[in-house]
Chain A
Amino acid sequence: MSLETFWKSPNELKFPVLSQEAKEKEFVDGVTEEFNPDELKGLSRRKFLALTAATLAVSTAACTDYHDKGEIIPYNKKPENIIPGIPNYYASTCTGCSNHCGILIKTREGRPIKIDGNPDDPINKGKICAIGQASILNLYDPERYKKPMKRNGNKFNEIKWQEAFNELISKVKLANNNGSEIAIIVGNIKSPSQKRLLELFTQKYATTKIYSYDLMADYPRQLAWQACYGSSEPATINFENAKIILALESNFLGNEGNFVKNIAGFTKKRNVDNPDSFSRLYAVEGAMSLSGVNADIRIPLNPTKHLDLVLSIIAEVLKSRGITNGLVYEKVQNYSLAEFAKQNNLDIKQLKSLVKDLVQNQGSAIAIAGDKMPFELHIAVNILNGLIGANSNNSENNLLTENNSNQIPLSTKDYLLELKQKMQSGKIAVLINFDTNPAYDLSTLDFDNLMQKIPYSVTLTETETETALSSNYILPINHNYESWGDYQVSNDIITTQQPVIESLYGTYQKEDILLGLINDKLSKTAYRDFIKDTWVSQIYPQSNSGVEFEVFWKSVLHDGVYKLNTSKTPLRPIDYNAINLIKSSVSKSNYILSLKNSYSTANGRFQNNGWLLELPHPTSKITWDNYAVVSERTAQKLGVDSNKMIEINANGKKLEIPVFVQPGTVDDYFTIELGFGRRAAGTVGKEVGFDALQLTTIDQLFNGYLMSVEISSMPNKEYKLASTVEHHSLNDNFTKDLAKKRHIIQDGTLSEYVQGNYNPERSHLTDSIIPEIEYKGVKWAMAIDMNKCVGCNACVVACNVENNIPIIGKDQVARGREMHWIRIDTYYTGDQDNPEVANQPMLCQHCDKAPCENVCPVVATTHSPDGINQMVYNRCVGTRYCSNNCPYKVRRFNFYDYRDNFNNHFQKADSLALMMNPEVTVRSRGVMEKCTFCIQRVSEARASAIAQGREVRGTDVKTACQEACPASAITFGSSNEPESELYYWRNHKLGYHVLEELNVKPNVTYIAKLRNKAEVK
């Protein structure tokens, strides 16, 4: 075959000449035809490029003065104490819950930017909880009501203040004249001035009735206390004097009672340098709480059995004392601890040692039951406490202190039912919701519909609530930081509240509105003068103060706390007859449900606060939701798993809710947190989570939320919970106990430590390819005592507020993009049924040989001569190599500009810009960020040291997390100062670094956790 016989196409074979011509011509006819761009139709590519270039040229030339740097607008008349750039601090009171902690508000140029505890407050001692820290966001919440509103059909119209007030006062007067009732619904009133105000109001309008309730209150404990001690207010427990603590489904470290005070007291007894007074916490509980996390001995037990357990313990205590007669003995004689242990598969030795501890530590041992546990359990606990001398008045170190701080007692169940009845029959003419949200809180009374029967209902509120939307009028009120107030927080302490900013939207404080009704005139200063009157008439005369009132008043406001001259009232004696109120009832139901307080949203009031919703739950690390906690076995039995829905049936009501499998939960037991599922709470908080209050009855508000339920599983219905950690199964051999194997968590027992047998694993590598750098002067470092950290999350929020950390929303959290600079890692080890838990706050370790620094291609992260791993945002290009190379995974990347209107979780609003800390850069999209050791505070300390003409010292700086920690677990300072506290902890026998074997030389020292295990014989 010759070469010519190869052809490419049939044409080539048939017409070789034509084909040859076509081959020589590269372009087909018409393709290379010249053309004029101007003749092209429409916007061609060339035209487009020409236009773009022209636009660019014109805009550059026509640009306005590029030198212009804006304006500096000084004060016209500068307020005396304000120096731009220097913060001012004002003492006030937090009104987030009825604990009323003293706070110190940091303001810059007249706007509050950070809240901390007031160090002068003898109760919370300079610390506040996560909610208090985050409440600053509520002040600047762009969704606050700004104008009074009047209902018009299903809508609300804005009206003028005067108009709203005139209508209100005419309606109130009319009701009073007609003799129909004016109902005011208030929360837990602890303020002497509020009490006087309500009294005055009742005097002026005689048909007024005050209703008071508190969803967070410990009603069952109050009732039990009344039965045992004859006073409606339970005594305050001083955990700093408790050596043995028995917590029965009680979350006293997490969200019950004054937990800030409890944490401080509890951790005072967890000092590794004072092993003799180290406390021992027994936690008996059905689901993992912070008490269980921090317990030395955790005994999982279904809460329905707790009453029997306590009665058996009482029997054992009596037996150990040889008491065989008397009222208590008769009641408990049929109970036996050994029998109880056998029935419930508990370790009898453990229970015996518990009883031994309780008996041997007479006067320093105490039992406490959960706020929402039944009345009878509280009675039994009171009796037990009486027997073990927890109520003794003898010593200086009383465990219980008498408390009579309530100004207006909370309404009884009957009183609330009477309210319902009166609302139903239309006997109430005017209903005033005094910053309360009964439509949500008391939804068991069907309050929503009842409100429709009220001819004139008005809600005083800051933001949208269910109650506001069902009332006729909404009157917006001042936030905490815009208001005056005084609060009695204990028998002898009153804290004062003063505004630190003019009300942002010209609103009135709620007391001003009531005062306006009394005085026939609305005034913004009325309540301030009213409080002063209260103090002139009630407190100043008793003060024996040598100065005139104005001076006295100013000094009280300055301090924020005032100590009354009252003598200490001893605790009343206990009435053991109360034990007869216990009627043993055995629950026959398969499943038990218990409702708990929420860790982050209180009673749902803080639902529109993204910082709080995004706070990882202390035990599950879930954000933006609540869920039903179950054990793995129960989940398997129901055929569900985490992120699957179940339907709960209780009291004839239904709730669909996702399930979360939590290690340490007892079988057939469910817990759900309250304060979620608000139907109206603003863009952020609306319909976040599930409203478990739907399942309850009004009885349960007063007798605890422990109920029998029916469960039906919905294994096909998925609901994604957003968690900030990957949950490894405790049964997986690869990941099981990894934290311990790699010495991330190191713990031992107290007795081993005392005998000198316990030292944390250290690896002292010396060889490194990176040369050693010598640090002269201060070198910043941190020590975290894991014996003290209870995992309360206060540090996380404090860091968020201090460092302008954005809220990113559930969707982004689910993608693992959470922005928190400090996180509390919770490690579970051991057995799925009763795991051992340890908390570890994890933040940038500021390694001397930081692996992140070596890999940054643009040198955006470097090391400072004082040992801080610096992050320069304007240099960062967002390669994320640093995060990849960080062994601690503490670097955070801005995947978006999270301040933009992002899924409505963080509204971009002018008011929120006021909240930002001006000393910290607000990061934008595409940059990496991480803990800076509060470099702005370091710089501030340097500046003031220079002003004083000295070198900066390690003790000059307190980081935001350290300042906030109620347990004082965090120490910060210079590791080059041998006399400092930081140096002591850094070189402590129990100190270790996490992942030390990597030889990155971290600068955060962790103090190994000691568990005070009982010696079981």
Chain B
Amino acid sequence: MLKSRLDYNLKIRLPITAFVIVVTYIITFFVAKPERDNVGYQPDQPIPFSHKLHAGEMQIDCQYCHTGVEKGRHASVPPVSTCMNCHSVARKDKPAIVNLTKYFNTNTPLPWKRIHKVPDYAYFNHSVHVNKGISCQSCHGNVENMDKVSQVQKFTMGACLDCHRNAHEKLPELKGVINKGPDYCGACHR
């Protein structure tokens, strides 16, 4: 009896299980691809800062806060003191601002959740892109419409190269202004 059970397991159950696993894997692979590429990743932030309010409605320039973006590699998240430029006066009573002020006054680091990340072995430089006239939205999406920022584009090597190789199709507004982006290894990997 046991012998026949082993037979059954090997001939029927194993292929079915294997088939189910493969099919599930294939379906999940494609359906969850944006998920795996982190597209749509929208974490909660320690301070519910709204880009929609600040950058959209009030039209504060991106570079008022992200000051490093045209100077160096990092766009840089603003220091708390930048927030306090206005919020030492404005909306002081709101709970989030009270919280923010506490961070500032106690000199506690404010741990923003990171949303966009290229791997450590790729050296992305904000300044070369911004100084060539490529808008922040090209990679980060329309942040000025987001209450809570989420990732819009893939941050994979394929996504980078797609734009670098087809710059004019991807960024039609910069046709004639920019050439193709570099696509040799050393441009990013060193």
Checking A69, A72, A862, A864 against B77 with a beta-carbon cut-off of 8 angstroms, the contacting residue is: A72
Q: Does A939 contact B (CB under 8 A)?
A: yes
User: In the assembled complex, which residues on chain B have CB atoms less than 8 Å from the CB atom of A943?
Assistant: 72-73, 125, 127-128
Q: Contact between B131 and A946 (Cβ–Cβ < 8 Å)?
A: yes
Q: Contact between B76 and A84 (Cβ–Cβ < 8 Å)?
A: yes
| Most chain A Cβ neighbours within 10 Å, of B2, B72, B112 | B72
Q: Contact between B78 and A74 (Cβ–Cβ < 8 Å)?
A: yes
Q: Does A67 contact B (CB under 8 A)?
A: yes
User: Would A935 and B79 be within 8 Å (CB), given that A70-B114, A84-B74, A921-B120 are in contact?
Assistant: no
User: Would A868 and B115 be within 8 Å (CB), given that A74-B76, A83-B72, A83-B76 are in contact?
Assistant: no
| Chain B binding surface, main DSSP class | loop
| Most chain B Cβ neighbours within 10 Å, of A72, A862, A919, A936 | A72
Q: Contact between B112 and A74 (Cβ–Cβ < 8 Å)?
A: yes
One of A238-246, A369-377, A824-832, A869-877 contacting the partner? A869-877
User: In the assembled complex, which residues on chain A have CB atoms less than 8 Å from the CB atom of B121?
Assistant: 873-874, 921
User: Would A865 and B184 be within 8 Å (CB), given that A72-B112, A86-B71 are in contact?
Assistant: yes
Q: Does B95 contact A (CB under 8 A)?
A: no
Bitwise, A943-981 to B at CB < 8 A (1) or not (0) is 100110100000000000000000000000000000000
Mark out the residues of chain A between 752 and 791 whose CB falls within 8 Å of any chain B CB in the assembled complex. none
Bitwise, A55-78 to B at CB < 8 A (1) or not (0) is 000000000000111111111111
| Most chain B Cβ neighbours within 10 Å, of A73, A938, A939, A949 | A939
Bitwise, B68-90 to A at CB < 8 A (1) or not (0) is 10111110111111100000000
Checking A69, A83, A942, A947 against B114 with a beta-carbon cut-off of 8 angstroms, the contacting residue is: A69
Q: Does A414 contact B (CB under 8 A)?
A: no
Q: Does B109 contact A (CB under 8 A)?
A: yes
User: In the assembled complex, which residues on chain A have CB atoms less than 8 Å from the CB atom of B115?
Assistant: 69
User: In the assembled complex, which residues on chain B have CB atoms less than 8 Å from the CB atom of A78?
Assistant: 79, 81-82
Q: Contact between B123 and A939 (Cβ–Cβ < 8 Å)?
A: yes
Q: Does B3 contact A (CB under 8 A)?
A: yes
Q: Contact between B185 and A86 (Cβ–Cβ < 8 Å)?
A: no
Q: Does A541 contact B (CB under 8 A)?
A: no
Checking B107, B113, B120, B185 against A71 with a beta-carbon cut-off of 8 angstroms, the contacting residue is: B113
Q: Does A250 contact B (CB under 8 A)?
A: no
What is the distance, in angstroms, from B76's C-beta to the closest C-beta of chain A?
Answer: 5
What is the distance, in angstroms, from A846's C-beta to the closest C-beta of chain B?
Answer: 11
Q: B35 — nearest CB in chain A belongs to which residue?
A: A67
In the complex, A69 Cα to B116 Cα: how many Å?
A: 8
Q: Does A93 contact B (CB under 8 A)?
A: no
What is the distance, in angstroms, from A46's C-beta to the closest C-beta of chain B?
Answer: 13
What is the distance, in angstroms, from A89's C-beta to the closest C-beta of chain B?
Answer: 15
User: Would A85 and B108 be within 8 Å (CB), given that A76-B81, A868-B186, A947-B131 are in contact?
Assistant: no
Q: A947 — nearest CB in chain B belongs to which residue?
A: B131
Q: Contact between B77 and A77 (Cβ–Cβ < 8 Å)?
A: no
Q: A85 — nearest CB in chain B belongs to which residue?
A: B72
Q: Contact between B120 and A76 (Cβ–Cβ < 8 Å)?
A: no
What is the distance, in angstroms, from A289's C-beta to the closest C-beta of chain B?
Answer: 38
User: In the assembled complex, which residues on chain B have CB atoms less than 8 Å from the CB atom of A86?
Assistant: 68, 71-72
In the complex, A921 Cα to B190 Cα: how many Å?
A: 6
| Most chain A Cβ neighbours within 10 Å, of B2, B104, B127 | B127
Mark out the residues of chain B between 160 and 190 whose CB falls within 8 Å of any chain A CB in the assembled complex. 182, 184-187, 189-190
User: Would A83 and B71 be within 8 Å (CB), given that A69-B114, A73-B112, A78-B81 are in contact?
Assistant: yes
User: In the assembled complex, which residues on chain A have CB atoms less than 8 Å from the CB atom of B185?
Assistant: 862, 864, 870, 872, 875
Q: Contact between A77 and B79 (Cβ–Cβ < 8 Å)?
A: yes
Q: Does A159 contact B (CB under 8 A)?
A: no
User: In the assembled complex, which residues on chain B have CB atoms less than 8 Å from the CB atom of A909?
Assistant: none
User: Would A85 and B77 be within 8 Å (CB), given that A76-B109, A874-B121, A939-B190 are in contact?
Assistant: no
User: In the assembled complex, which residues on chain B have CB atoms less than 8 Å from the CB atom of A68?
Assistant: 43, 113
User: Would A74 and B71 be within 8 Å (CB), given that A868-B186, A920-B190 are in contact?
Assistant: no
Bitwise, A623-648 to B at CB < 8 A (1) or not (0) is 00000000000000000000000000
Q: Does A932 contact B (CB under 8 A)?
A: yes
Mark out the residues of chain A between 881 and 937 whose CB falls within 8 Å of any chain B CB in the assembled complex. 919-921, 932, 935-936
In the complex, A68 Cα to B186 Cα: how many Å?
A: 28
Bitwise, B94-132 to A at CB < 8 A (1) or not (0) is 000000000110011111111111011101010110011
Q: A71 — nearest CB in chain B belongs to which residue?
A: B111
Q: A869 — nearest CB in chain B belongs to which residue?
A: B186
Q: Does A34 contact B (CB under 8 A)?
A: yes
Q: Does B67 contact A (CB under 8 A)?
A: yes
Bitwise, A69-109 to B at CB < 8 A (1) or not (0) is 11111111110000111100000000000000000000000
User: Would A870 and B110 be within 8 Å (CB), given that A83-B76, A85-B68, A943-B127 are in contact?
Assistant: no
In the complex, A943 Cα to B124 Cα: how many Å?
A: 11
User: In the assembled complex, which residues on chain B have CB atoms less than 8 Å from the CB atom of A870?
Assistant: 184-186, 189-190
In the complex, A874 Cα to B121 Cα: how many Å?
A: 7
In the complex, A868 Cα to B109 Cα: how many Å?
A: 41
| Most chain A Cβ neighbours within 10 Å, of B78, B113, B128, B186 | B186
Checking A77, A946, A947 against B80 with a beta-carbon cut-off of 8 angstroms, the contacting residue is: A77
Q: B42 — nearest CB in chain A belongs to which residue?
A: A67
In the complex, A776 Cα to B78 Cα: how many Å?
A: 40
| Most chain B Cβ neighbours within 10 Å, of A69, A86, A865, A868 | A69
What is the distance, in angstroms, from A929's C-beta to the closest C-beta of chain B?
Answer: 11
Q: Contact between B184 and A69 (Cβ–Cβ < 8 Å)?
A: no
Mark out the residues of chain B between 25 and 41 whose CB falls within 8 Å of any chain A CB in the assembled complex. 38, 41
What is the distance, in angstroms, from B79's C-beta to the closest C-beta of chain A?
Answer: 4
User: Would A946 and B128 be within 8 Å (CB), given that A76-B108, A85-B68 are in contact?
Assistant: yes
In the complex, A868 Cα to B67 Cα: how many Å?
A: 32
Q: Contact between B79 and A76 (Cβ–Cβ < 8 Å)?
A: yes
| Most chain A Cβ neighbours within 10 Å, of B74, B78, B115, B190 | B190
Checking A76, A83, A920 against B67 with a beta-carbon cut-off of 8 angstroms, the contacting residue is: A83
Q: Contact between B123 and A73 (Cβ–Cβ < 8 Å)?
A: no
User: In the assembled complex, which residues on chain B have CB atoms less than 8 Å from the CB atom of A67?
Assistant: 38, 41, 43
User: In the assembled complex, which residues on chain B have CB atoms less than 8 Å from the CB atom of A83?
Assistant: 67-68, 71-72, 76
User: In the assembled complex, which residues on chain A have CB atoms less than 8 Å from the CB atom of B71?
Assistant: 83, 85-86, 947
User: In the assembled complex, which residues on chain B have CB atoms less than 8 Å from the CB atom of A77?
Assistant: 79-81, 104, 107
In the complex, A921 Cα to B119 Cα: how many Å?
A: 11
Bitwise, B145-158 to A at CB < 8 A (1) or not (0) is 00000000000000
User: In the assembled complex, which residues on chain A have CB atoms less than 8 Å from the CB atom of B110?
Assistant: 73-74, 76
What is the distance, in angstroms, from B140's C-beta to the closest C-beta of chain A?
Answer: 14
User: In the assembled complex, which residues on chain A have CB atoms less than 8 Å from the CB atom of B81?
Assistant: 75-78
Q: Contact between B127 and A947 (Cβ–Cβ < 8 Å)?
A: yes
Q: Contact between B184 and A862 (Cβ–Cβ < 8 Å)?
A: yes
In the complex, A76 Cα to B84 Cα: how many Å?
A: 10
In the complex, A872 Cα to B71 Cα: how many Å?
A: 26
In the complex, A939 Cα to B187 Cα: how many Å?
A: 7
In the complex, A938 Cα to B71 Cα: how many Å?
A: 16
User: In the assembled complex, which residues on chain B have CB atoms less than 8 Å from the CB atom of A947?
Assistant: 70-71, 127-128, 131
User: In the assembled complex, which residues on chain A have CB atoms less than 8 Å from the CB atom of B182?
Assistant: 865
What is the distance, in angstroms, from B44's C-beta to the closest C-beta of chain A?
Answer: 11
In the complex, A921 Cα to B117 Cα: how many Å?
A: 16
In the complex, A654 Cα to B106 Cα: how many Å?
A: 63
Chain A positions within 8 Å of B, measured between CB atoms, are 34, 67-78, 83-86, 862-865, 868, 870, 872-875, 919-921, 932, 935-936, 938-939, 942-943, 946-947, 949
Residue pairs across A and B with Cβ atoms less than 8 A apart, 13 shown, are A71-B112, A73-B110, A73-B111, A74-B78, A76-B103, A76-B109, A77-B80, A83-B71, A864-B185, A920-B190, A936-B123, A946-B128, A947-B128
Chain B positions within 8 Å of A, measured between CB atoms, are 2-3, 38, 41, 43, 67-68, 70-74, 76-82, 103-104, 107-117, 119-121, 123, 125, 127-128, 131-132, 182, 184-187, 189-190
Given A870-B189, A946-B131, output 13 extra A-B contacts at Cβ < 8 Å.
A34-B2, A68-B113, A69-B117, A72-B114, A77-B79, A78-B79, A78-B82, A83-B71, A86-B72, A870-B185, A921-B190, A939-B186, A947-B128
Q: Which 5 A-B pairs have the closest CB atoms?
A: A85-B72, A78-B79, A870-B186, A85-B73, A75-B79
